[in-house]
């Protein structure tokens, strides 16, 4: 069971309808990972496993051990994909999202900004959000393009000062969104840097293990159902206080 300790965070009972009427003086933003988080499966790994030459795994290992950065890894792997556009479109259309994600978005949107910030590919995220009628959500991800019998990639949200060399520097994106309270929801390596500075961290997978090893306060989760249940107990008015950074695992 998830637990959470913070300044008066149990002020609203589960399902309380008062949240939508709260007038919050400062901005909160949820920075949400996609692959392995909104989408239970890692879209990019599934894409590579189905359509790329086996060499993508060797490239992945070079990234894991630090021989190349994330941008180089993604660039080299995407080049190995061989499939026509129709086949790839059918694959992207089959991407599923967490069954409670839409309910989560509807609950938090009255009191917070929301951004999907992913070191994956923008096109499949856009397709997935369109399927669940969430096309209006802000999406920050590597730009995917179709090329003859394959895909291309570019990095509009990279940063020269990104310590991880990510295609999308989540710390840089979070700063650009200029919110007083940052809530990170993620599962992997691209979330590590932002986890150090976010006000609240919901973590699973390797992000949870990283937070444990680095003594970063966080709340573990399995699905958006876990997160939504907890959020329904938050007193949102207290969350925007500057000293509200408190957690329990």
Domain count, the chain: 1
DSSP structure class, residue 81: B
**What is the reported pLDDT for 5?**
27
Which spans in the chain are helix H? Answer: 43-51, 55-64, 70-78, 85-93, 101-108, 122-131, 170-177, 192-195, 205-213, 224-231, 236-239
Confidence of residue 238 (pLDDT cuts 50, 70, 90): low
Per-residue pLDDT tens over the stretch 64-102 = 898 999 999 999 999 999 999 999 999 999 999 999 999
Which structural domain range is residue 121 located in?
17-239
Per-residue pLDDT tens over the stretch 6-60 = 322 322 333 333 333 333 334 899 999 999 999 999 999 999 999 999 999 999 9
Q: Judge whether 3 lies within some domain.
A: no
Per-residue pLDDT tens over the stretch 128-163 = 999 999 999 999 999 999 999 999 999 999 998 887
In the chain, what are the helix, strand and coil shares in percent, each to the nearest 5? Answer: 40, 20, 45
Q: Judge whether 8 lies within some domain.
A: no
Per-residue pLDDT tens over the stretch 176-224 = 998 889 999 999 999 999 999 999 999 999 999 999 999 999 999 999 9
Q: Judge whether 189 lies within some domain.
A: yes
Both ends of the chain: CA-CA distance in Å? Answer: 9
Within 8 A by CB and 6+ apart from 10, the residues are 233, 234, 235
Domain harbouring 125, CATH code: 3.40.50.1000
Q: Judge whether 73 lies within some domain.
A: yes
**What is the reported pLDDT for 27?**
83
Q: Judge whether 25 lies within some domain.
A: yes
Buried-state track 177-216, b at ≥16 Cβ within 10 A, e below 16: bebbbbbbbbbbbbbbbbbeebbbbbbbbebbebbeeeeb
């Amino acid at each position: 069971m998830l637990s959470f300790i913070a300044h008066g965070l149990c002020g609203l009972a589960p399902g309380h309808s008062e949240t939508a009427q709260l007038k919050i003086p400062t901005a909160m933003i949820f920075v949400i990972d996609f692959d392995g988080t909104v989408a239970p499966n890692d879209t990019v790994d599934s894409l590579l496993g189905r359509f790329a030459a086996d060499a993508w795994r060797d490239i992945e290992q070079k990234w894991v051990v630090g021989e190349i950065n994330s941008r180089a890894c993604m660039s080299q792997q995407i080049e190995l994909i061989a499939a026509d556009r129709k086949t790839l479109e059918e694959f992207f259309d089959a991407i599923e999202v967490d069954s409670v994600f839409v309910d989560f978005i509807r609950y938090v949107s009255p009191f917070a900004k929301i951004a999907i910030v992913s070191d994956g590919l923008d096109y499949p995220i856009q397709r997935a959000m369109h399927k669940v009628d969430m096309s209006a959500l802000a999406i920050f991800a590597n730009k995917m393009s179709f090329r003859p019998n394959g895909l291309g990639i570019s990095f509009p949200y990279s940063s020269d000062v990104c310590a991880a060399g990510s295609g999308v520097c989540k710390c840089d994106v979070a700063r650009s969104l200029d919110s007083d309270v940052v809530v990170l929801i993620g599962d992997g390596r691209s979330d590590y840097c932002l986890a150090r500075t976010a006000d609240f961290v919901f973590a699973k997978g390797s992000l949870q293990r990283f937070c444990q090893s680095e003594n970063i306060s966080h709340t573990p989760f399995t699905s958006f159902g876990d997160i939504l249940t907890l959020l329904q107990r938050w007193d949102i008015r207290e969350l925007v206080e500057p000293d509200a950074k408190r957690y329990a695992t």
